[in-house]
């Protein structure tokens, strides 16, 4: 069966740039999977996806003209139903065969085989392999149906199309051309009112010829570049833009580098077909504005690449990725400089106006900004965060930390009512820091205003100082407790208030900074600030929220490589100082490697089961009631081992504590071999239960060891 490369291209109007790469990969991937499933392409066939603003295409090697025929075995019915007592076909069997295009002559060739407990009849035939035209038609329809289209649009087909008139078609953008080439042969498929051919279109303005007539599937990329002035591959176009950006920065000199932003690079790649990077500039006076403002307006509004100097400071140069390459680019450069100037002027105006009022004078305005209809205004929220922050600071530090944290918490949201943040919400916190420094506030307070949103995403840095850490912790706790208190919990696929992210932020701060704070106490103190809220259930909120946070912690630890058993053992006792969890986990891992670990874990599980059935037991042990040698030996061993293990635990050496307890393996084994715990004599029974309860408590201070039992 001969094979050749296959090229399929759908030529459309400008596709949504932020979705282009995903659309291109999905289009090509589904085509390939469908052709492989039909036997028209080998699983090892090489797929190349193409995506530009006006096309989705796929190139696949080693595609057959026709799939190989396949042997098909179809179950008909049980033998007892299909054949009568004399072995003749029943009407039911003949009807079933007729539906398959066979008749009574096929009965002698039917195969008998066991199907469960009964013998059944099977009809074996050969299914003709699909032709490429049939298979590609099906694969193309599937590829279109499965495109992750952000929003579908409907349009009427043009006169002269295959389905002219008022026929409507729905697709991500109106489609105007379809190419399907197997080698140098057109594959006759149809879609979206279009018939496949070999003609496509290149760049709107710079194509050498129009239309571009493709010679064969393998010449697609080269012809599109040479004749169509289009780099059809998204990845190749992205790499070319990155190359030109770096080269242009070198040409500017002074150690300049374009700002690194993968999302911006992807979006610009999806906006141009033939990239041409140009250097532009703006007036130096705009550099008086915080560079975050200028960078954001250039990236978000204009899709420009700002240039930074060797010390990462913004320069007055920026790079534009143009879609045209004129001999004289001065008009393009001047046009972009003219467009960006009003944007930068607006930023400067907002910055100058905002500095006419202090942050402190804006706090009152937060009382007019609704935070949540059940939790009040931003002003009320600020008061809650202030009280929580002060309480945390008093536990962690001195009066100075408490004063600075309270001030930072009071001002942290004030920039929400500034003109700059009103125009660029992404700058909240950042602008607050600039305005705080302008107001002459302590640098630690200014930094905390910016940092209290951190960590904003996975891998983000933590606040840079203690004041920021306190305010960030208070802010996230206020959000979590408030939302849980009104029953606004995240669901499986929805988390509009980013509560999972807030919980992970709390965990990171408590653990990475090893803060001497108890989780339950933190939640209780935060819940106390919501007493004035109608319908707020603080008790339920703290219980549910503690479970929620520990679940996030368990997931995070497992992602970092800890086993489920180790995580369960450490978190089952619900540790309150989460900063100790890494040490506890390391101790459990070291204990699990000891020869005595399995036996002690199993014994611990056995003790736990015994104590569950003995609610009358307490940890009191009378030496006078110790009768059996094994229980005396265990009591004596515990008298030596447990105090030493407890001292190591109290000193924070959890690994040594567990390793010390491992010495109890032999006396514990001997106890269960030689002592009847549930003795008939009540005082003996209670004494032995008390001994086990003391042992259980000592062994489970670091972790619930029974969770390690297999």
Last residue of a domain, one of 286, 319, 354: 354
Mean per-residue pLDDT of the chain: 91
DSSP 656-696: HHHHHHGGGHHHHHHHHHH--SS-SSHHHHHHHHHHHHHHH
> The tokens of 161 are what?
């199309």
Distance CA 310, CA 439 (A): 30
Burial class (CB in 10 A: 0-12, 13-18, 19+), 229: buried
336-349: b (≥16 Cβ within 10 Å) or e: beeebeebbebbbe
348 and 368 together in one domain: no
Residue 32 is inside which H or E element, if any? helix 20-37
514 and 438 together in one domain: yes
Residue with tokens 């930023």: 347
Q: How many CB atoms lie within 10 A of CB 162?
A: 12
Residue 72 is inside which H or E element, if any? strand 70-78
Last residue of a domain, one of 210, 226, 242: 226
Residues 6+ apart with CB under 8 A from 46: 60, 61, 62
- Are the C-beta atoms of residues 40 and 254 closer than 8 Å to each other? no
Mean pLDDT of 558-585: 92
CATH number, residue 386: 1.10.3210
Residue 181 has pLDDT above 90, yes or no: yes
DSSP state of 172: S
What pLDDT, in 10s, does the model give residues 492-551?
788 889 999 999 999 999 999 999 999 999 999 999 999 888 888 888 899 999 999 999
336 and 411 together in one domain: no
pLDDT for residue 708: 86
Residue 70 is inside which H or E element, if any? strand 70-78
State how far Cα 193 lies from the chain centre.
39
- Orientation of helix 499-512 relative to helix 466-485, angle to 10°: 140
- Pairing state between β 168-171 and 153-156: antiparallel
Residue with tokens 């912790």: 473
Distance CA 217, CA 364 (A): 68
Residue 24: inside a domain:
yes
62 and 75 together in one domain: no
506 and 589 together in one domain: no
pLDDT for residue 83: 86
Number of domains composing the chain: 5
Residue with tokens 């051919």: 197
391 and 454 together in one domain: yes
**pLDDT more than 70, % of the chain:** 98
Beta strand spans in 79-152 (E): 111-115, 118-127
pTM of the model: 0.81
Give the three-state DSSP class for 649. helix
pLDDT for residue 616: 77
Phi, psi of 646 (to 5 degrees): -65, -40
Tell me which of 111-125, 180-194, 245-259 is least confident: 111-125
pLDDT class of 158 with cuts at 50, 70, 90? low
Residues 6+ apart with CB under 8 A from 141: 191
pLDDT for residue 193: 87
Q: How many CB atoms lie within 10 A of CB 414?
A: 26
- Which of 532, 535, 551 lies closest to 543 in space, CA to CA? 551
What pLDDT, in 10s, does the model give residues 199-242?
999 999 999 999 999 999 999 999 999 999 999 999 999 999 99
142 and 157 together in one domain: yes
CATH number, residue 622: 1.10.730
Residue 206: inside a domain:
yes
pLDDT class of 374 with cuts at 50, 70, 90? very high
First to last CA, the chain: 56
Tell me which of 10-24, 64-78, 584-598 is least confident: 64-78
Long-range contacts of 94-98 (CB under 8 A, 24+ apart): 97/123
**3-state SS of 520-535?**
HHHHHHHHHHHCCCCC
Residue 54: inside a domain:
yes
54 and 156 together in one domain: yes
Residues 6+ apart with CB under 8 A from 194: 161, 162, 175, 176, 177, 178
Higher pLDDT, 150 or 171: 171
DSSP state of 117: T
374 and 321 together in one domain: no
245 and 344 together in one domain: yes
pLDDT for residue 548: 95
538 and 677 together in one domain: no
Q: Domain range spanning residue 618?
A: 581-708
Residue 569: inside a domain:
no
556 and 585 together in one domain: no
Tell me which of 4-13, 71-80, 133-142, 218-227 is least confident: 71-80
Residue 566: inside a domain:
no
Last residue of a domain, one of 181, 204, 226: 226
On the CB side of 448, CA atoms within 13 Å amount to 30
Q: In the beta sheet, which residues pair with residue 175?
A: 12
On the CB side of 612, CA atoms within 13 Å amount to 6
What pLDDT, in 10s, does the model give residues 485-509?
998 888 878 888 999 999 999 999 9
Residue 166 has pLDDT above 70, yes or no: no
Q: How many CB atoms lie within 10 A of CB 164?
A: 12
Residue 159 has pLDDT above 60, yes or no: no
């Amino acid at each position: 069966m001969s094979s050749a490369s296959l090229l399929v291209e759908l030529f459309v109007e400008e596709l949504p740039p932020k979705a282009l790469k995903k659309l291109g990969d999905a289009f090509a991937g589904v085509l390939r999977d469908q052709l492989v499933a039909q036997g028209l392409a080998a699983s090892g066939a090489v797929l190349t996806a193409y995506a530009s603003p006006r096309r989705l295409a796929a190139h696949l090697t080693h595609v057959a003209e026709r799939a190989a025929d396949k042997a098909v075995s179809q179950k008909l019915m049980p033998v007892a139903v299909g054949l009568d007592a004399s072995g003749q076909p029943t009407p039911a069997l003949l009807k079933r065969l007729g539906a398959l295009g066979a008749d009574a002559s096929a009965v002698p060739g039917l195969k008998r085989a066991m199907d469960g407990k009964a013998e059944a009849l099977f009809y074996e035939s050969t299914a003709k392999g699909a032709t490429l035209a049939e298979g590609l038609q099906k694969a193309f329809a599937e590829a279109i149906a499965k495109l992750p289209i952000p929003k579908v649009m409907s349009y009427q087909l043009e006169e002269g199309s295959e389905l002219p008139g008022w026929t409507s078609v729905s697709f991500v953008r109106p489609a105007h051309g379809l190419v399907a080439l197997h080698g140098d042969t057109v594959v006759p498929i149809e879609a979206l009112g279009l018939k496949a051919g070999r003609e496509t279109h290149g760049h709107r303005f710079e194509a050498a010829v129009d239309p571009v007539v493709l010679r064969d599937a393998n010449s697609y990329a080269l012809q599109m570049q040479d004749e169509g002035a289009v780099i059809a591959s998204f990845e190749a176009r992205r790499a070319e833009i990155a190359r030109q950006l770096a080269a242009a920065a070198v040409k500017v000199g002074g150690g300049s580098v374009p700002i690194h932003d993968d999302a911006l690079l992807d979006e610009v790649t999806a906006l141009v077909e033939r990239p041409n990077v140009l250097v532009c500039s703006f007036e130096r006076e705009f550099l008086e504005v915080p560079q975050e403002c200028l960078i954001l307006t250039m990236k978000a509004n204009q899709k420009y690449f700002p240039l930074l100097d060797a010390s990462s400071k913004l320069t007055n140069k920026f790079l534009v990725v143009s879609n045209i390459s004129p001999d004289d680019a001065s008009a393009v450069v001047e046009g972009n400089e003219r467009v960006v100037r009003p944007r930068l002027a607006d930023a400067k105006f907002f910055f100058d106006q905002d500095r006419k009022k202090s942050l402190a004078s804006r706090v009152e305005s937060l009382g007019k900004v609704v935070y949540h209809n059940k939790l009040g205004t931003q002003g009320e929220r600020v008061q809650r965060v202030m009280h929580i922050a002060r309480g945390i600071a008093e536990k962690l530090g001195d009066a100075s930390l408490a004063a600075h944290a309270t001030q930072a918490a009071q001002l942290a949201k004030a920039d929400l009512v500034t003109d700059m943040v009103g125009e660029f919400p992404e700058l909240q916190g950042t602008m607050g820091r600039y305005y705080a420094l302008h107001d002459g506030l302590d640098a630690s307070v200014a930094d905390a205003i910016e940092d209290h949103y951190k960590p904003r995403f996975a891998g983000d840095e933590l606040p840079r100082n203690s004041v920021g850490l306190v305010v960030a912790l208070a802010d996230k706790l206020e959000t979590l407790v408030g939302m849980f208190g009104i029953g606004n919990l995240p669901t499986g696929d929805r988390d509009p208030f980013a509560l999972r992210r807030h919980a992970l932020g709390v965990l990171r701060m408590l653990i990475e900074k090893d803060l001497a704070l108890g989780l339950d106490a933190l939640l209780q103190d935060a819940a106390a600030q919501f007493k004035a809220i109608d319908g707020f259930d603080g008790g339920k909120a703290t219980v549910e929220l503690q479970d929620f946070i520990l679940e996030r912690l368990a997931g995070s630890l497992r992602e970092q490589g800890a086993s489920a058993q180790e995580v369960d053992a450490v978190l089952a006792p619900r540790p309150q100082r989460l900063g100790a969890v890494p040490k506890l986990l390391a101790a459990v891992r070291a204990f699990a490697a000891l020869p005595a670990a399995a036996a002690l874990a199993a014994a611990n599980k056995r003790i736990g089961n015994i104590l569950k059935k003995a609610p009358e037991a307490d940890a009191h042990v009378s030496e006078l009631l110790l009768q059996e040698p094994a229980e005396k030996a265990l009591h004596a061993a515990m008298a030596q081992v447990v105090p030493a293990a407890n001292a190591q635990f109290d000193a924070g050496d959890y690994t040594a504590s567990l390793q010390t307890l491992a010495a109890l393996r032999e006396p514990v084994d001997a106890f269960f071999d030689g002592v009847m715990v549930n003795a008939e004599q009540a005082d003996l029974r209670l004494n032995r239960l008390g001994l086990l309860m003391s042992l259980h408590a000592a062994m489970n201070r670091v972790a619930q060891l029974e969770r390690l039992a297999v």
